[in-house]
Amino acid sequence: MLVLARAVNKIGAFTLPFLGVVLTVEFGASLAQTGLILAVFGAATIPSRLLGGQLADRLGRRRTIVLGLTGCAVAQLWIALSDTLWSAVLAAVLLGLAFEIYEPPSQATIADVTEPADRPTAYGLLGAAMAAAGVLAGLLAAAVSHFDLRWLFVADAITCLACAVVVAFALPADRQARGQATNAAADRVRGRLPKVAVWRDRRLLLLLGSGTVFATIYMQLIIGIPLTLLDQGLPESGTGFILAVSAVTLILAQRLLRVQQLDDFRSIAVGYVLLAAGLVVTAFAHSLAVFLVATVLWSLGDLFLLTRYLTQASGLAPDHARGRYLAVFGLSWGIATTIAPLTATQLLKAAGPEGLWLTSAATAAVLASLQPWFRKQLAPAGP
C-alpha cells in the first residue's frame, strides 16, 4: 500500500526540475538569484529530514507521512498562486521545510516489514513503481508545460493530497508504533537496549559523506538538465520527455539487470561507471535525441545506486532507531539540494554545460574506484 501511495504521489512529482525554470521565466529571477533561492530551498530540507526521522520513531510512520505530504501540497499551491518573486521564495522555503518529512518514515516502513536480504528487492520495487508513475509524470509535465508552468505545481499538490489520503486510510494505525517506541524506551531504562548515539556511528557518517557526493551529482542533473536545454535552445518540454525516458529505463532495467545478484559495493561501482558515461554524453549533447541516449546511461547508473545506498543505511540501524538512522543518512539529499544549485549554476556560468557535466563525470569515476576502500571501512566491527 505504501508503494501504491508513493506511485500516486510520483505522478505529479515533476515540479523540482522546473522550479528553477519557473523562477527565471515566470518571476524574472536572474541565474544567480535562481541558484541562491534553490540553495535556500535545499537548506530548508535538512531540518525537514531530521524532523521526519524523529517523528517517525516517536509519533508513528503513518501520521508523519500524512503530515509531510500535506505540507508539500500547501507550499506548492502557494507557489502556483504567487504574484511576486518574494512570495514564491517564501513558498519555496516552506516547501523545503516539508519536502523531506515523509521520506524517513516511508523508508523505515519498508525496512520494518522486510528481512535484510530482501531489502534491495523491496527498495527496488518502490523504485520501479515510482518509475512507472514517472513515465506518466514526464509526459504530463511535457503536456502541461506548453500551457503554464504554474499548473505543474497545482498537479503536484493534488497528487500529494491523494497520496496522503491513501496512506491515512490504507496503512496500519500508529498505535503499534507508539507502543513499540514506549517499550523500547522502557527497555533502555531497564538496561536491555543501549541508548543510540546516531551521530557517533562512524560508519553511518562515512556513508553520509559518500551519499552526499552522489546526491549532489544527482541533484545537479535534476537542476542542470532543464537549464542546459535552455542554453542549447531546446524546448522546455524536452525535460518532460527526459523524465519519461528515465522512468522507462528504470522499469525495463529492473527485469533485465538482476541487480540483486550483485553485492552492495560492486553494484555501486557499476552504477558510478554508468553514471559517468551518461554525464560524458550529456556534456557533448546538442540535440534532444543525444540527451535521451545520455538519459538511458545515467538512469541505469541510478538503478544500481539508489537502492543499494538505502540498503546499506537501513542495515546499519538498530530496529528501534531506524527512522533516525535513515533521517541522518537522508541529510545527504538536503545537503546536496543546498549545494547543487550553486555548483550547477556557477559551473554553467563559468564553464558551460561541458564543464558542469565533465566535472560531475570525473567525480563519479573517482567514487567508483573508491568502492573497495569503502568495503573495508563499512565492514561490521569484530566482536
Q: How far apart are the C-alpha atoms of 145 and 255, rounded to whole Å?
A: 32
pLDDT at 272 exceeding the cut of 80: yes
Dihedral angle computed from the Cα positions of residues 54, 55, 57 and 62, in that order, rounded to the nearest 10 degrees:
-150
Cβ neighbours of residue 67 closer than 8 Å, sequence gap 6 or more: 55, 101, 102
DSSP state of 6: H
In this predicted structure, which of 24-28, 74-78, 189-193, 343-347 has the lowest mean pLDDT? 189-193
Percent of the chain with pLDDT over 90: 19
State in Å, rounded, how far the first CA of the chain is from the last one.
Answer: 39
Helix (H) or strand (E) holding 375: helix 371-377
Over residues 155-207, the pLDDT tens digits come to 888 888 988 888 888 777 775 444 444 444 444 444 455 565 677 778 888 98
- For residue 382, pLDDT over 60 is answered with no
Say if CB 97 and CB 127 are below 8 A apart.
no
Better pLDDT: 24 or 269: 269
Q: Give residue 291's identity as a one-letter amino acid code.
A: F
Q: Give the Cα separation of 91 and 26 in Å (integer).
A: 15
pLDDT value, residue 185: 44
DSSP E strand boundaries for the chain:
none
Taking the C-alpha atoms of residue 275 and residue 258, their distance in angstroms, rounded to an integer, is 18
The pLDDT, as a whole number, for residue 196 is 59
> How does residue 349 score in pLDDT terms, banded at 50, 70 and 90?
confident
* Contacts with 254 (C-beta within 8 Å, 6 or more apart), sequence order: 124, 127, 128, 131, 303
Instruction: Give, as one character, the DSSP assignment of residue 286.
Output: -
Positive or negative, the CA dihedral 140, 145, 146, 149 is positive
What's the pLDDT at 163? 84
- What type of residue is 381? A
What pLDDT shows up at residue 355? 92
Band of residue 134 on the pLDDT scale cut at 50, 70, 90: low
Considering the entire predicted model, what is its pTM? Answer: 0.68
pLDDT digit string (tens) for 118-133? 777 777 777 777 777 7
For the chain, what percent of residues have pLDDT higher than 70? 84
pLDDT of amino acid 291:
93
Residue entry with cell 557533448: 284
Q: Residue 217's pLDDT is what?
A: 93
pLDDT at 342 over 90: no
Cell of 135: 513515465
pLDDT bracket for residue 383 (50, 70, 90): very low
Contacts of 8 (CB under 8 A, 6+ apart): 133, 159, 162, 163, 166
- How does the average pLDDT of the chain come out, rounded? 80
Mean pLDDT to the nearest integer, 246-264: 71
CA atoms within 13 A on the CB side of 258: 1
pLDDT digits (tens, 9 = 90+) for 181-195: 444 444 444 445 556
| Better-predicted residue by pLDDT, 46 or 365 | 365
Q: What is the pLDDT of residues 33-79, one digit of tens each?
A: 887 888 888 788 888 888 888 888 788 888 898 998 999 999 989 98
DSSP states of 25-40: HTT---HHHHHHHHHH
Decide: residue 167, CB within 10 A, 0-12 exposed, 13-18 middle, 19+ buried: buried
Identify the band that residue 277 occupies on the pLDDT scale cut at 50, 70 and 90.
very high
More confident residue, 374 or 124: 374
3-class DSSP state of 378: coil
pLDDT for 191 equals 45
Higher pLDDT, 114 or 320: 114
- Taking Cα atoms as reference points, which of 30, 14, 83 lies closest to residue 226? 14
In whole angstroms, give the CA distance from residue 356 to residue 358: 6
Cβ atoms of residues 279 and 294 within 8 Å: yes
Residue appearing with cell numbers 551518461: 278
Q: What is the pLDDT of residues 67-105, one digit of tens each?
A: 989 999 999 899 889 888 889 899 989 988 988 888 888
Q: Using CA atoms, how far apart are residues 89 and 15, in angstroms rounded to an integer?
A: 15
Q: How many helices (H) and strands (E) does the chain have?
A: 15, 0
Q: How does residue 366 score in pLDDT terms, banded at 50, 70 and 90? A: very high
Q: What is the pLDDT of residue 179?
A: 47
Is residue 111's pLDDT more than 90?
A: no
334: number of Cβ within 10 Å: 26
